[in-house]
Amino acid sequence: MRNLISSFVVLTVALLITSGSFAQQPDTKKGEAKKAQTQTKPAVVPLSTTVKPAADVTALQPEKAGKLYGGWMLPAAKLSFPRLPYDLDALEPVIDKLTVEIHYDRHHRAYYNNFIKAVTGTEMENMSIFEIFSKMSELPVPVRNNGGGFFNHVLYWNNLSPKGGGEPGGELAEAITKYFGSFEAFRAKFDEAAKTRFGSGWAWLSIDPEKGELFVSSTANQDNPLMNTESRRGFPILGIDVWEHAYYLRYQNKRADYVESFWKIVNWQDVEANYKQFYEMKDKLFR
């Protein structure tokens, strides 16, 4: 009799399991919560979709080689944030896409926004950025940091090209040979300035406005040779950003590797055009 009862119990349990009566039921509350979370969670917008060119930019468009300095003669309040002259991934493998995205759309754009904010409502909004740089020692720190950051990065993006590299030609090549002895000697001096700049800053190839000589220098933070805070002022025609945000994702702490790779994407056409513009605009730049 016991065996018969046991067999009956086993059979009954088996039937219940088969019919789903003992199957694990879904947690209705958890399911509803998950569904609500899915519906309310905002979509993640890729950084690249936020990179929008300013609609009214003409004078500062980086792709217009040599037009950089003419555009800066506008009153500061009328300056716009320029677009890149190439795709975000165009400088790979020297500079990776993510670095360009963050560097351009976050760092550079922030410098622009903060600069405009700093000059708006002051006498500086009607001054050109060159006039502002010539008085920099008298001006608030936010103007110095953000004005320099805005200007320096426009020059930087303009100086780069996916079709760059090699060596300059024409008058610039002759001037480099005249003042440095050779292109190799110039490059070694420029590399040293970039690699040995302690902390954050820039290295530059500039023209001395009084002597017309080419010279290499480095500046701290977002300073540049146009500012009257520099011991030797100059007209920068080539610059390299050695802040860590310019290279760390790709090169980590190997700044020297970044500096060496930089030469593969230098846009010598633009640098040469900037060199020629010095003679057209020097009287307006240094007062």
Q: Please, are residues 223 and 147 in contact by the beta-carbon 8 Å criterion? A: no
* pLDDT tens by residue, 42-91: 332 233 333 333 333 333 443 343 355 667 888 999 999 999 999 999 99
* pLDDT tens by residue, 110-149: 999 999 999 999 999 999 999 999 999 999 999 999 999 9
CA distance 105 to 153: 11
What pLDDT is recorded for position 286?
61
Record: fold of 57-86+96-285:
minor pseudopilin epsh fold (3.55.40)
Q: Please, are residues 127 and 76 in contact by the beta-carbon 8 Å criterion? A: yes
pTM of the model: 0.77
- DSSP assignments along 47-95, one per residue: GGGG----TT--TT-TTSTT-HHHHTTS-GGG---PPPSS-TTTTTTTS
What pLDDT is recorded for position 284?
66
* pLDDT tens by residue, 154-194: 999 999 999 999 999 999 999 999 999 999 999 999 999 99
How many other CB atoms are found less than 10 A from the CB of residue 169? 11
